[in-house]
Chain A
């Protein structure tokens, strides 16, 4: 005993090869489900698209675990965006960033946003004066340490300052609302950030690893290195940035994972 290998006409019990719309023996119609040669996906998320974004930590209104397929050529994300909306995050501009394809490559472009797009640093990343980066809940900016090069006053009085120590760069904590917080001038080639025993410490930031990241100067160039922190170190992109599978992005309060499938 065995089962018929094809669809069987419900009128005349003849076998109908798949793809036929009518029974060849009696002319009866074949239901649409039996006509198709394609196997459908259970859901759109299974679609072998080029890439998608998964909201790891996200907008209260939209919820976590949401997934956005990037099937079109451009996908705008923002507080009032149609494609990737984060309506309750006021750290996002109405139009904040755009996910688009350049050839086969997925890139993210900062659409001139106030607060930018941050990408998780893999290992270490070159960084420049003026760049912003994030560790735990904290946001930082790299500045050059200002130098007072002016000499004595016209009347030959010298300015009395605190003891100066040579410093090439410094890290400034940026508080929500835009005010500067902690400023730490590097006195050596390395400046360490973490929860304790570092140059800048955040004992009450539960998302910060004990030793989280460091900024290092070699020659004239600066490098931001993540020290295998649990939650990663994120650097603000300039303009646009190519994405690859497993990248993490911060848009405002939203943490997104990039999955590139093709």
Chain B
């Protein structure tokens, strides 16, 4: 049951729009997840990093993650994923390249690539069935996690970063071992000539069967493509990329009122959630737009904020909106995707696109 935030009518779970007032209903709003958010101050339990997974097999990842407080609504459903359901059990990597394997959506019947967590047609959560034993598994996973992470390096390649060329075709691939692999301009190969990569840019490693990327405090960061229709939480300073545009979310800040009780005059404040600003320099932003409570859409042609000159932005690309008091970015099915900059480190599910420097890669394992 989804209760409409505008008119309070109760709607069935699979409805996209409210029967009462026509407002768009939050899709799967009970499980929006943060995307490598900053560790909240005072969280001494954290091991100094925050790991969140944006994608399908994130459930296990979250059981491992050391920052459960970032969960808006951590449900046992997520943890249950460590007991894979038959339908989503992936084929061995060599047999299951991205998108080739599909299975029918139980709700609408559309053929959905197996690495999708949500049906791209109807938005149905494909993995919504919790299995009862799962919650018992999770604590065990958590205990064993450090051991897995510290496991000795394996010499054999466990994953590949496949270069996606500007025309969409696949280029060279870079092998990642089971241990830690540092990449950057200094490591040469396909990374050598990219002036936008730091000499030591990012580090890849495995935690269990999950690939993790860590930003080595690089200048330009590591961006991971987010799944369509899955809200990813934004924090003050979060950066995301749409087409060629780099956007920063800024939480609302206001100066202190004057001592004599005089308030700052200005345009009507419509309860803005913050704003998004175009990054045009290290410390410099250009065009900016405040985000009203009902959110904004971004696109090349449609939406509240349009980028008519950026051919890499879809007609309607993504939206920035509020759920349960937090702000999220959600890709609405763009062709080239919405990428969120990894704040410290992030899980990289199989098939995920990763942007580093000027180049786009797909992680395969």
B255→A162 contact, CB < 8 A: no
What 0/1 readout, one digit per residue, does chain B (87-127) give for beta carbons within 8 Å of chain A?
A: 00000000000000000000000000000000000000000
The docked-state distance in angstroms from the alpha carbon of A252 to that of B262 is 10
Within A137-167, the residues touching B (CB, 8 Å) are 137-139, 145-148, 150, 152-153, 155-164, 167
**A90 interfacial by beta-carbon distance below 8 Å:** yes
Asked if B220 and A157 sit within 8 Å, CB to CB, the answer is yes
A246 proximal to B (CB < 8 A): no
Contact A173:B267 (CB < 8 A) given known A155-B198, A159-B220, A178-B255: yes
CB-CB under 8 A for A185 and B266, given A94-B260, A159-B219, A162-B279:
no
**B255: which A residues are within 8 A, CB to CB?**
178
Q: Is the CB of B265 within 8 A of A181?
A: no
Which residues on the A side are within 8 Å of B280 (C-beta)?
A: 146, 148, 161-162, 164
Check: B45 CB closer than 8 A to any chain A CB. Answer: no
A183 touches B265 (CB 8 A): no
Q: For the complex, what is the distance from the CA of A146 to the CA of B247, rounded to whole Å? A: 16
B219 touches A176 (CB 8 A): no
B191 to A: closest C-beta gap in Å:
12
Contacts A175-B269, A176-B269 given; does A159 touch B264 at CB 8 Å: no
Tell me, in angstroms, the Cα distance from A152 to B199 when the chains sit together.
13
A167 to chain B: which residues have CB within 8 Å?
286
The answer to the question of B31 belonging to the interface, with a C-beta cut-off of 8 Å to chain A, is no
Confirm or deny: A182 has a beta carbon within 8 angstroms of a beta carbon on chain B: yes
Contact A93 B262 (CB under 8 A): yes
| CA–CA, A153 and B200, complex, Å | 13
Q: Is A51 an interface residue (CB 8 A)?
A: no
Please measure, in the bound complex, the distance between the C-alpha atom of A70 and the C-alpha atom of B285, giving whole angstroms: 47
| A182-B290, A183-B286 known; A160+B267 contact, CB < 8 A | no
| Residues in B neighbouring A175, C-beta threshold 8 A | 266-269, 272, 290
Q: B310 at the A/B interface (Cβ < 8 Å)?
A: yes
> Does A68 lie at the interface of the complex (its beta carbon under 8 Å from any beta carbon of B)?
no
Q: Which residues of A contact B278 (CB under 8 A)?
A: 162
In the assembly, what is the distance between CA of A156 and CA of B193, in Å?
A: 11
Residues of A within 8 A of B198 (CB): 153, 155, 157
B185 interfacial by beta-carbon distance below 8 Å: yes
B267 touches A183 (CB 8 A): no
* A177: interface (CB < 8 Å): yes
Closest to A136 in B: B267
Once A93-B260, A179-B254, A184-B287 are accepted as A-B contacts, the answer to whether A161 and B281 lie under 8 Å apart by CB is yes
Across the interface, which residues of B come within 8 angstroms of A93, CB to CB? 258, 260, 262
B289 touches A182 (CB 8 A): yes
Q: Is the CB of A178 within 8 A of B220?
A: no
Q: A114-B258, A148-B284, A158-B196 are in contact. Are A137 and B267 (CB under 8 A)?
A: yes
Q: A162-B246, A163-B244 are in contact. Are A157 and B195 (CB under 8 A)?
A: yes
Contact with A along B241-281 (1 / 0, CB 8 A): 00011110000111100101111111111001001011111
How distant is the Cα of A60 from the Cα of B213 in the complex, in angstroms?
60
* Assembled-state Cα–Cα distance A150/B195 (Å): 15
20 contacts between A and B (CB under 8 A): A91-B262, A91-B263, A146-B281, A148-B280, A153-B219, A157-B196, A163-B245, A173-B266, A173-B267, A174-B266, A174-B267, A175-B266, A176-B267, A176-B269, A177-B264, A179-B254, A180-B275, A181-B267, A183-B285, A252-B265
B residues near A (Cβ < 8 Å) are: 185, 195-199, 218-220, 244-247, 252-255, 258, 260-269, 272, 275, 277-290, 309-310, 357-358
The 10 closest A-B pairs by CB, nearest first: A148-B281, A178-B264, A183-B288, A115-B265, A176-B266, A91-B265, A160-B220, A178-B255, A138-B267, A177-B254
